[in-house]
Structure 1
Amino acid sequence: MLVVALLGGYAYYRNLESGLKRESVVPALGNQRPPETGALNVLLLGSDSRDGNNQKYGATSHGLGERSDTLMLLHMSPDRDKVTLVSFPRDLMVVIPSCTSRNGTPLASGLRQINSAFNDGGVVCAMRTVESLTKLRLDHFVKVDFTGFKGIIDALQGISICLPKAVNDPKAKLVLSAGKHVVNGEQALGYVRARYSMGDGSDLSRIKRQQIFLTQVMKKVTDGGMLTDPGRLNAFLQAAIAAVTVDDELSLTRMLEIARSVKGMSAGQLKGITVPVQAYVADKNRVQLAQPAADDFFERLRSDVEVSQPATSPGPSASAAPQAEIPRDKVRVQVLNGSGKGGLAKKAADELAAQGFVVTETGNAPETAVTSIRYAKRQQEGAAYADVVAARLSKDKRTPVAGKVKPATTERFQTSTPAATPTGKASGPIVQLVIGADWPGVRVASVIPDSLKDKTVDASTNPCQ
């Protein structure tokens, strides 16, 4: 919506932006929040409110509040070159932090279903819960209800879906034959909300269907000719503005900034994944985070940091071959831990080896506050090799320094994942990575680990499965 609106001109966009429903959340979130990483994280909430025009979906629930029927985290990399859509099952049991209820009374921290955070404490409580789980700072939120969702799909003139078998679900108001269909808003709402009549009846099955549907929506927005049809574009934007509620920090200036950064992004850059879960021991109808897989995944999201340009190294070696000409399997690295925290050298070595580097040794170094990458002054090409390693570290921690490379106290490195060990022969200068107290971590090659790749949904996923 931001990208296409930007193309329509500032005055028109300002008129659209003035119609947005807003809610203030930042003051209530407090100061004890995760740090900024350069990524853009937006909480997407699908409200199951039965108030107003939504009464037809359950009049007996009118006035009883709203739960997060759908809860997703939209994560855009700092370089804005990829998008990961992370779904949280509504039946997920988590520790919800202390919040303030919708009527202003305190809510104690406790183990509850994740969708109750939104019902009991509103958007602020939902955001605090996701931040507590992921240790990621949420920049914004977007909320849409049943009626708003339908309006957006109708404005897009329907979305293509595919059913492996016929569906007759009166609860979801969905009756369709097997095969391909273009569904309108009402049918689309039934398709993404149906649970027991489609798939295996689980919320996890429904989530995958929702992610597939969203990839089809993105295809329609970016590839369907809407950008060149003023009438369709206006109808879509008017419907979208009327459908959503956003935080008041999502100002016109901020929207334009985001729009410029993601201009040109295609449906192929969107990947959907569900957080790793397993059965909840106390109730087979609930799930809990699967550990350590969930924490590893959240760490990857936090480590998805900006690497736009390699650092410029000092000294006479600045004229050495550029980073792009040096394959990682030609780079030899010693990893030494000077942080004072145990295990970091081995962990960093594993991560670098998995990305193709030849790690020759790990060990300890005298404690230091600052992480550094060292190479020998006498080796003219050392800076270029150091840059290859530096590019895999977090922003602002990537400048190599020329100096003497000494093994210090080392031991032979053996990766814990032998399959990731590179087969190339490295013969260039040795680069020494000394981990300090400010260790930023190794930038992940992919937010989604190999163990979850088969659970990923993207533009290539078969919608008929």
Structure 2
Amino acid sequence: MGLTVVLVGVTLGGYAYYRYLDSGIDRQPFNVGASRPPETGALNVLLVGSDSRAGDNKKYGPKSQHLGERTDTIMLLHISPNRDNATMISFPRDSMVPIPECTGRNGQVVPAGLRQINSAFNDGGIECTAKTLESLTNIKINHFVKVDFTGFKGIVDALGGIEICLPKPVNDPKAKLVLSAGKHVVKGEQALGYVRTRYALGDGSDLGRIQRQQVFLTQVMKKVTDGGLLTNPGKLNAFLHAATQSVTVDEGLTLERMLEIANSVRGMTAKELKGITVPVEPYPPDKNRVQFAQPAARDFFENVRNDVEVTKSPTPGKSTAPAVKREQVRLQVLNASGEEGRAVQVADALAAQGFVVTQVGNAAPADVTTIRYAKKDAKDGPAYGDAVAARLSKEKRTPIEGKVKALVSQPYTLKSPPAQMPKGPIIQLVIGKDWPGVRVLSAIPDSLKDKVVDTSTNPCL
């Protein structure tokens, strides 16, 4: 994700440099099978952290050097079709799940069965892991990225380190982490130790470690997108080299594909990246294992397939609701994009979210989408316009005083008209050529909303 965002900042004039970077990326075939979930327009990337002890990773367990590799970290990065938000979905390594029949690393068939989820990678590699996740979620995985211990350190070092916060002193010989309580900027071994430590922090569970990993990755994303990386040639070059040399990806994740992704997500910032763990519960036969909690997990996967937002629950005592509710806003939708029928499409989407759409029509061509209110509504218009702005994708737009003249307009018929029409100002949405799309409403179960991790999450876990 960080690599593709950064690539868009490098000019196409550096074609030879592109190719040089591309030559350093290790790629592998990725054949999950013929029976796959359908495409939805979303981008889903399987991220795995390998515990391989091969090569430079030998020092993390020389006795395990020839015992294969497992996935201590399994995440699915889901980027919405509008490319306006990204969700990191973590799958606890201790989850007991039905693993489908796979082809093993030795070419032999590994029979289907109920096993720990990280065994899929050890038995059948990345393709078996992807096949397992697709069977569990019915979400199609488009690409994969694998990073090992050494690669992880290289990327963090290239970023100049990441700030963490420890609620207490930590001395964990297994994770090679010794640090005092409080904030630290960690690199190399310390960064790796922080994301690996399990028993020295929290309740000692894998779930606690996952949450810390998600917080860490939101900080990585913040540094990549907001930390001035694109404006510092030296740091940019170091990051690109470290990223390309530290990962293994599928053959379909070509340089051209990365650039395509980079351009599609260029308006996204760290604020749009959220982490959440699949809901789990204790596994009755073994207290050291977990299983997916139903129906919460099934409902969650359905929400992701339908591309709803993952939103945090409100902080107790603080209201995050907009000052003006959608049901209070009367809305006129005008199409200035030049694309036929767009006004009705947008009106339908906003009406479904509760806005009281009164008219649809066309306006003179415009490059930029705007939200407008009448000059006479200068007092209340901005607040009502903000309610509309909050439902548009990409960067939030500031309502503008002064409406434009409709070339043609007609009444819009609501499928579920309100019992009483609201009395506030009528807001005008003028759809320009840069139309960003309408954000989908959140339908994440209430039981999960307090488990969302984003840039506002307290890092002292």
User: Which TM-score bucket, shorter chain as reference?
Assistant: 0.7 to 0.9
Aligned to 1:86: 89
2:346 and 2:102 map into 1 onto residues whose CA distance is 56
Q: Give the 3 Å change call, closer, same or farther, for CA 449–57 of structure 1 in structure 2.
A: same
Structure 2 alignment gaps of length 5 or more: 310-333, 359-409, 423-438
1:98 and 1:323 map into 2 onto residues whose CA distance is 42
Aligned to 2:237: 234
- Counterparts of 1:403-418 in structure 2, within 5 Å, are none
The answer to whether the 8 Å contact 1:163/1:177 transfers is yes
How many residue pairs are counted as aligned between the two chains?
366
Q: Does 1:96 align with 2:99?
A: yes
Shift of 1:6: 2.4
Aligned to 1:445: 441
Which secondary structure state, in structure 2, belongs to the residue aligned with residue 328 of structure 1? coil
- Counterparts of 1:422-437 in structure 2, within 5 Å, are 425=420
- Counterparts of 1:9-48 in structure 2, within 5 Å, are 9-10=11-12, 11=15, 12-26=17-31, 29-48=32-51
- Counterparts of 1:299-314 in structure 2, within 5 Å, are 299-304=302-307
Q: Give the 3 Å change call, closer, same or farther, for CA 44–325 of structure 1 in structure 2.
A: closer
> TM-score by structure 2 length?
0.74
Aligned to 1:140: 143
Structure 1 alignment gaps of length 5 or more: 333-379, 390-421, 428-442
Shift of 1:269: 0.4
Which secondary structure state, in structure 1, belongs to the residue aligned with residue 129 of structure 2? helix
Q: Give the 3 Å change call, closer, same or farther, for CA 178–289 of structure 1 in structure 2.
A: same
Q: Give the 3 Å change call, closer, same or farther, for CA 424–2 of structure 1 in structure 2.
A: farther
The answer to whether the 8 Å contact 1:46/1:70 transfers is yes
Aligned to 1:335: none
Aligned to 1:126: 129
- Counterparts of 1:317-356 in structure 2, within 5 Å, are 328=354, 330=356
Q: Give the 3 Å change call, closer, same or farther, for CA 99–319 of structure 1 in structure 2.
A: closer
Partner deviation per Cα, 1:377-413 (whole Å, 9 max, x = no partner): xxx6345x36xx9xxxxxxxxxxxxxxxxxxxxxxxx
Q: Does 1:212 align with 2:215?
A: yes
Aligned to 2:458: 462
Shift of 1:16: 0.7
Q: Give the 3 Å change call, closer, same or farther, for CA 327–48 of structure 1 in structure 2.
A: closer
1:287 and 1:299 map into 2 onto residues whose CA distance is 21
Give the partner amino acid of 2:11. Answer: G
The answer to whether the 8 Å contact 2:53/2:64 transfers is yes
Give the partner amino acid of 1:453. Answer: K
Which secondary structure state, in structure 2, belongs to the residue aligned with residue 4 of structure 1? helix
Q: Which moved more, 1:294-303 or 1:11-20?
A: 11-20
Q: Which moved more, 1:448-457 or 1:46-55?
A: 448-457
Q: Give the 3 Å change call, closer, same or farther, for CA 424–199 of structure 1 in structure 2.
A: farther
Which secondary structure state, in structure 1, belongs to the residue aligned with residue 134 of structure 2? helix
Shift of 1:323: 7.0
Shift of 1:312: 6.3
CA-atom RMSD in angstroms: 3.1
Give the partner amino acid of 1:123. Answer: I
Q: Does 1:244 align with 2:240?
A: no
1:219 and 1:323 map into 2 onto residues whose CA distance is 31
Q: Give the 3 Å change call, closer, same or farther, for CA 320–187 of structure 1 in structure 2.
A: closer
Q: Give the 3 Å change call, closer, same or farther, for CA 325–95 of structure 1 in structure 2.
A: closer
1:51 and 1:227 map into 2 onto residues whose CA distance is 33
Give the partner amino acid of 1:289. Answer: F
Which secondary structure state, in structure 1, belongs to the residue aligned with residue 297 of structure 2? helix
Aligned to 2:268: 265
The partner residue of 2:411 within 381, 401, 414 is: 381
Shift of 1:9: 2.7
- Identity between Structure 1 and Structure 2 (%): 65
Aligned to 1:163: 166
Shift of 1:13: 2.1
1:99 and 1:320 map into 2 onto residues whose CA distance is 44
1:13 and 1:276 map into 2 onto residues whose CA distance is 41
Which secondary structure state, in structure 1, belongs to the residue aligned with residue 450 of structure 2? helix
Aligned to 1:65: 68
1:64 and 1:173 map into 2 onto residues whose CA distance is 21
2:277 and 2:443 map into 1 onto residues whose CA distance is 13
Shift of 1:7: 1.7
2:193 and 2:279 map into 1 onto residues whose CA distance is 26
